[in-house]
Chains A and B, each alone.
Chain A
Amino acid sequence: MLSILRTLWGVFLHMFRSRETIQYPEQNILDPPRFRGRIILSLDPDGQERCVACYLCSAACPVDCIALQAAQDVNGRRYPEFFRINFSRCILCGFCEEACPTYAIQLTNDFEFSEYDRNNMVYEKEDLLISGPGKHPDYNFFRVAGVAVGVKGKGESENELPPVDVRSLLP
């Protein structure tokens, strides 16, 4: 009997607490910074595509909803010829973001992308690319990698010595 009254009292007190329910869509949601929503592809600080088409996101994807094809530009820089995410399969787990070695693929706060037709949930590279570096404003993979692909010369990366002179006999 006492416990019933205590419960009723508890429920009664809740009437004076602040509301947890948000009146979406009239009211905007303030979601946490690490919220995992719609996936985007970002650009590096030089304004070029960050994605180097390494296939790690597609390999990490548990529902296999990422398909891409690598291509090379005249300098040998790798980029995705096409990059497709089937959002109708995507579970927004964020494994692709974790796997990405260049911070190209990122999950955003946007989740408002429902469609009546599943075919409209298939996003191509044009739909995914944004015009900035996203969450990681400074990182530029090709400034760290050893390959020279038009971004810099051999041995000009961070933490690199100038190229060895193979013909030198000096010790």
Chain B
Amino acid sequence: MVTIHIDGLPYEVEEGQNLLQACLSRGLNLPYFCWHPALGSVGACRQCAVKRFKSEKDERGEIIMACMTPAEAGVRISIDDPEVAAFRKSVIEWLMLNHPHDCPVCDEGGECHLQDMTVMTGHAYRENRFKKRTYPNQYLGAFLNHEMNRCIQCYRCVRYYHDYAGAGDLNVFASRDHVYFGRGRAGRLESGFSGNLVEICPTGVFTDKTLGRHYTRKWDLQTAPSVCVHCALGCNTIPGSRYGELRRVRNRYNHEVNGYFLCDRGRYGYEFVNCDRRIRAPLVRTSRGVEQVLVSTEDALKSAAAMLSERRKVIGIGSPRASLESNFALLRLVGPKNFHAGISDKELEVLNLIRDVLCLGAARTPTLSETAEAGAVFVLGEDVSNSAPLLALNLRQLPRRKAEIAMAKVKIPPWNDAPIQRIAEFEKGSLYIASPCATGLDEVASKSFHGDISELARLGFAVASVLDPANAPGVEGLTEKEKIRAGEIASALGGAARPLIVSGAGCASLALIEAAANICTALGKIGGQPQIFFALPEANSLGLALLGAAGGLETACSALRSGRADTVVVIENDLFRRCAEEKAIALFDSAKYLVAIDHLINPTTSKADLVLPAAAFAEASGTLVNNEGRAQRFYRVLVPEFEVKESWRWIRDIMRFLGRSEAEKWHRLDDLSVAMAALNPLFAGLVSVAPDADFRLAGGKIPRQAPRYSGRTAMRAHIDVFEQPPPDDPDTPLTFSMEGDPRQPPPSLIPRYWAPGWNSVQALNKFQQEIGGPLRGKDPGVRLIEPIPQARTEYFRDVPASAPKAEGEMSLIPLHHIFGSEELSALSPGVAELCPQPYVALNPEDASFLGLFEGALAKVGVEGLTCCLSVRIVPSLPRAVAGLPVGLRGAPVFELPASGTVVREATDE
């Protein structure tokens, strides 16, 4: 900490920051445009001018750019000096010369950084009498609108999209006052992180197209803190709703998790909540073969009680996309021995192994933000750009970190973007990738290697044995090339501070995870500080593994078939996505009754004898455990219509109906957290995940609506002119009202970013301890798993052998897609547009050997199941390996990885 003087007052600021950061960190208002905490400063917009004085006696001073000047001890600056204030005002006047008269029809209006800064500088009237420059716009895909007239040339979009997110299809064109930010040719933005442009752009050049279809101003959105449900990283979000509909999702800053950015799947996947496939009322089927009919809640509970009465042998099938509370309630309903995970046995085995590796502590798992600070990274068998997008965005910053360290030697601070970017552009990160086929990160990797899953695992084991040749299991029959490769990776990992091993459940391979754990054990033994990070498939995968299930779907199936069970309760899970259709049908047919609690009509709910309408994430409150074991609370944003309620509430009501005393104590969400913490020591931290429902700020609940929320006395007036009181919310300390203390709530309860004078998302500055640092208080979430460092010293010893394949045999591996592999987001129209059609990926040589070409039909056979898929040629795929996309709609479900056959489909011609 150093002391600087701003307008005559001393302030303690962190050394190494720039003056703009220092001023903002201390709560002072200084306008800016081109600077962004994640992107650094370039000094392009000239907006953050301050006056610097040489000494106490200096009265003249000099105008400098705060963002380009380091905060050194004893610096004296003035923000309020009239000369510099006039300078800032004239700068904004220039920026506004060509800004169109658009605010009423601009989606940024009301949360526009340009509006805020214009008001802050005091510029009010346009005195320029010349005509305004205009630009043509471009079509940028389903997610973003482009309105170039509004541009103020701050270059933030290119610096984010091109430099930070590493995508090449948006750039700056033309010269002088004609500079144009867009694509070379109109078309969809290819990066999976394009949605962040909405928040990066200080004005309305890039706006959210999905919001535009049901546009609502920021002040009219009912918002609450939430957690993204579209992958396991647990990025924090702020969904907004209006008129009982979910309208958009924005980023919620969590320094330890997602920082400033979200991926497009998380940002645009929300529309499934509004889709017409939602279940809004209970449905009952009186006997198999007849249609389901609508019934009242009372009748539904009665039939549930009849189906699940004591005489029946009930098993439960949980879900990795349901909250911890819902899964726990199901576990209590059916008993731990009858609780099944709702994923295949194999996937559960992989998940359990990951849980054990994390808990027993071969290495600590870093937070998502810490992954960007790793000295060297080895990605083993996971396509993180598709299965954990934001992790890929973080790993992409490795070259930049390297450049920052290099530039620190010549005293260039890390926020000075231009020189660092110039170096980072040609730098490769200490990133090694071993994956089945090319990933989006290969271009920033030092080395990338593609091979079959067993080969990748062998490479992993080989790296461990190079690091610790004495103890780690050796790998038989390695080629010379493989040995060199393993040696290179081992030396990079061994020599780096905090090396990071990334693997995951993407390939559903135990050997890969064991290999990753072995590398960590080996690195620990040679005195390193290894970290391990697993990408998991779904929002609550790890939570489900921590709860502990008796088995997966196959176990449930055999329990039904053997007569050990006759009734199934499935929550928030479509089993037809989890196993082959025949298997799912067999499972349901062998059950006497099937009770499904879900929010979407899907093949499982269509088969059910009783369907209870569950609340989707925006309508429910609950807890999710992300892939690092961080439990995070999400809060309901809107009150669902009709009889929709949380799965755990349905289960509680059924249990009460059945006379189970346990459920009598479950009045609200916190009661389940307490019950979980009491039953399972792993969940001890759950009670402190977020303030409980009794938390009050200055005696009141925290308002979900902004103070300027409009239409309160008119929105329901067409139904009834008399106003209703706000709906009750017993589970949370938030209220569906605009009444409440305007002060900042604790970080896990921040419903929106707003501060006086700061209506845009940049108001976040006022919520952080230091700019770009943790939120005031503590970053949301509690890590349930903090392993004892180096508790595990045992090696896994099952090194897979390199088995030569039989003639015509292919190894079929799963391929993940950022858009399409996840069930819920694929129901949102914008995302659905980008989902690929089912295909089989083949190496070009394999394809020509089989007489196949791009788009041709191939017959894929695995364990007796066959299906026809069109061929996609993927040059990076190894020989004798075929890739099958996971989770696409209309694609057959195979249990992958497996060995199978791919042959040419005989056509009639």
CB within 8 Å of B: which A117-171 residues: 118-119, 121-122, 124, 141, 144-147, 149, 154-155, 157, 159-169, 171
Please measure, in the bound complex, the distance between the C-alpha atom of A84 and the C-alpha atom of B718, giving whole angstroms: 8
Asked whether A102 is an interface residue with its Cβ less than 8 Å from the other chain, the reply is yes
User: Whole-angstrom distance between the alpha carbons of A65 and B299 in the complex?
Assistant: 40
- B713 near A164 with CB under 8 A, answer no
Residue in A53, A118, A124, A166 whose beta carbon sits within 8 Å of that of B135 in the complex: A166
Chain B 182-195 against A: per-residue CB contact (8 Å), 1 yes, 0 no?
Answer: 10000000000000
Does the CB pair B721–A86 fall under 8 Å? yes
Contacts of A72 in B (CB 8 A): 212-213, 215
Please report the total number of A residues contacting B with Cβ < 8 Å: 51
Mask, B713-757, CB within 8 Å of A = 1, is 111011011100000000000000000000000000000000000
B149 at interface, CB cutoff 8 A: yes
- The majority secondary structure among interface residues of chain B is loop
Answer yes or no: A63 CB below 8 A from chain B CBs: yes
Q: Which of A11-19, A26-34, A36-44, A54-62 contacts B (4 or more CB under 8 A)?
A: A54-62
Say yes or no: B104 contacts A102, CB within 8 Å: yes
With A78-B105, A146-B149 already in contact, the answer to whether A166 and B710 are too (CB < 8 A) is no
Q: Does A101 contact B (CB under 8 A)?
A: yes
**A/B pair count, beta carbons within 8 Å:** 146
A67 within 8 A of B: yes
- In the assembly, what is the distance between CA of A72 and CA of B147, in Å? 16
Is A107 located at the chain interface by the 8 A CB criterion? no
Name B123-162 residues within 8 Å CB distance of A.
131-137, 147, 149-150
Given contact pairs A59-B217, A69-B214, A171-B176, A86 touches B132 in the complex (Cβ within 8 A): no
B713 to chain A, nearest CB (A): 4
Q: Is B708 an interface residue (CB 8 A)?
A: yes
Shortest Cβ distance from residue B855 to the other chain A in the assembled complex, whole angstroms:
34
Distance in angstroms between the alpha carbons of A169 and B174 in the assembled complex = 7
B residues within 8 A CB of A167? 173-174
**Cα A171 to Cα B180 with chains together (Å):** 15
- In the bound complex, residues from chain B placing their C-beta under 8 Å from that of A159 are 131-132
B100 within 8 A of A: yes
- Which of B174, B216, B720 has the most CB atoms of chain A within a 10 A radius of its CB? B174
Within 8 A of B (CB), among A51-106: 52-56, 58-59, 61, 63-70, 72, 78, 84-86, 88-89, 101-102
A64 to B708 CA separation, bound complex (whole angstroms): 9
Q: Which among B213, B718, B720 has the greatest number of chain A C-beta atoms within 10 A?
A: B718
Quick check: B721 and A163 within 8 Å, CB to CB? no
Is the C-beta of B711 less than 8 angstroms from some C-beta in chain A? yes
Contact B714 A146, beta carbon cutoff 8 Å: no
Q: Is the CB of B718 within 8 A of A56?
A: no
Closest to B176 in A: A171
A124-B718, A145-B100 known; A64 and B710 CB under 8 Å? yes
Question: Total interface residues on B, using CB and 8 Å?
Answer: 47
Asked, given contacts A67-B714, A161-B131, A166-B180, whether A101 binds B216 with beta carbons under 8 Å apart, the answer is: no
Tell me the complex Cα distance, A94–B159, Å. 45
Inter-subunit contact A168/B711 (CB<8 Å): no
Q: Complex: how many Å from CA A145 to CA B217?
A: 19
Instruction: Tell yes or no: B854 within 8 A of A by CB.
Output: no
Q: Name the one of A66, A144, A160, A165 contacting B711, with C-beta atoms under 8 angstroms.
A: A66
Known A53-B215, A141-B104: A63·B174 in contact at CB below 8 Å: no
A164 and B710 form a contact (CB under 8 A): no
Q: How far in angstroms is the closest Cβ of chain A from B711?
A: 3
Greatest chain A CB density within 10 A among B102, B134, B174, B214 is at B134
Complex: how many Å from CA A121 to CA B722? 12
Residue from B109, B134, B175, B219 in contact with A155 in the complex, judged by beta carbons closer than 8 Å:
B134
> Which residues does chain A contribute within 8 Å of B101, judged by CB atoms?
144-146, 157
Smallest Cβ distance from B610 to chain A, in angstroms? 36
- What per-residue 1/0 map shows which CB atoms of B75-104 lie under 8 Å from chain A? 000000000000000000000000011111
Return the contact of B136 from the options A70, A102, A163 (Cβ within 8 A): A163
- Does A86 contact B710, Cβ atoms closer than 8 Å? no
Grouping DSSP codes into helix (H, G, I), strand (E, B) and loop, the A interface class, with mixed when no group exceeds half, is: loop
B776 within 8 A of A: no
Whether A64 pairs with B134 at a CB distance below 8 angstroms is no
A58-B220, A70-B215, A147-B105 are contacts. A161–B714 as well, Cβ < 8 Å? no
Q: Is A119 in contact with B134, judged by CB distance below 8 angstroms?
A: no
Known contacts A72-B212, A119-B720, A122-B721; A55 and B220 CB within 8 A of each other: yes
Min CB gap B449→A, angstroms: 41
Q: For the complex, what is the distance from the CA of A168 to the CA of B136, rounded to whole Å? A: 14
Contacts of A78 in B (CB 8 A): 105, 215
| Selected contact of A154 from candidates B134, B712, B714, CB within 8 Å | B134
Give chain A nearest CB distance to B896 CB in angstroms.
43
Q: Which B residue's beta carbon lies closest to that of A63?
A: B713
Residue from A63, A69, A89, A160 within 8 A of B132 (CB atoms): A160
A117: shortest Cβ distance to chain B, in Å?
A: 9
**CB < 8 Å neighbour of B147 from A59, A118, A147, A171:** A147
Given the complex of chains A and B, what is the CA–CA distance between A84 and B715 in angstroms?
Answer: 8
* Alpha-carbon distance A89/B173, docked complex (angstroms): 53
The residue among A59, A65, A166 with the most chain B CB atoms within 10 A of its own CB is A166
B135–A69 touching, CB < 8 Å:
no
The answer for the CA separation of A144 and B137 in the assembled complex, in Å, is: 18
Q: Is B243 an interface residue (CB 8 A)?
A: yes
A165, B102: Cα distance in complex, Å: 22
Contacts of B714 in A (CB 8 A): 58, 64-67, 84-86, 89, 122
| B721 adjacent to A154 (CB under 8 Å) | no
Q: Find the residue from A65, A147, A149, A154 having the highest chain B CB count within 10 A.
A: A147
Q: Do A145 and B105 touch (CB < 8 A)?
A: yes
A59 to B37, CA, bound (A): 31
- A164 contacts B717, C-beta separation under 8 Å: no
Q: A149–B105 Cα gap in the complex (Å)?
A: 10
- CB pair B104 A52 closer than 8 Å: yes
Interface centre among A70, A72, A121 (most CB of B within 10 A): A70
Return the chain A residue nearest B212 by Cβ: A72
B178 interface contact, C-beta 8 A? yes
Contact of A146 among B134, B215, B710 (CB under 8 A): B134
Q: Is the CB of A66 within 8 A of B216?
A: no
A64 to B220, CA, bound (A): 11
Contact between B131 and A160, CB atoms less than 8 A apart: yes
Which residues of B sit under 8 angstroms from A166, Cβ to Cβ?
135-136, 173-174, 178, 180, 182
Bound CA span A23–B718, Å: 36
Is B105 in contact with A67, judged by CB distance below 8 angstroms? no
Q: Are A122 and B718 in contact (CB-based, < 8 A)?
A: yes
14 sampled A-B residue pairs with Cβ under 8 A: A58-B220, A72-B212, A89-B713, A119-B720, A122-B714, A124-B718, A144-B101, A145-B105, A146-B147, A149-B105, A154-B137, A159-B131, A161-B131, A167-B173
Contacts from A to B (Cβ < 8 Å): 52-56, 58-59, 61, 63-70, 72, 78, 84-86, 88-89, 101-102, 118-119, 121-122, 124, 141, 144-147, 149, 154-155, 157, 159-169, 171
Q: 6 tightest A-B contacts by CB?
A: A146-B100, A67-B711, A54-B104, A67-B714, A155-B134, A58-B710
Told that A84-B714, A86-B714 touch, could you supply 17 new A-B pairs with CB distance under 8 A? A54-B109, A58-B714, A59-B219, A61-B710, A64-B710, A65-B713, A69-B216, A84-B715, A89-B714, A102-B104, A122-B718, A147-B105, A154-B135, A154-B149, A155-B134, A159-B132, A169-B175
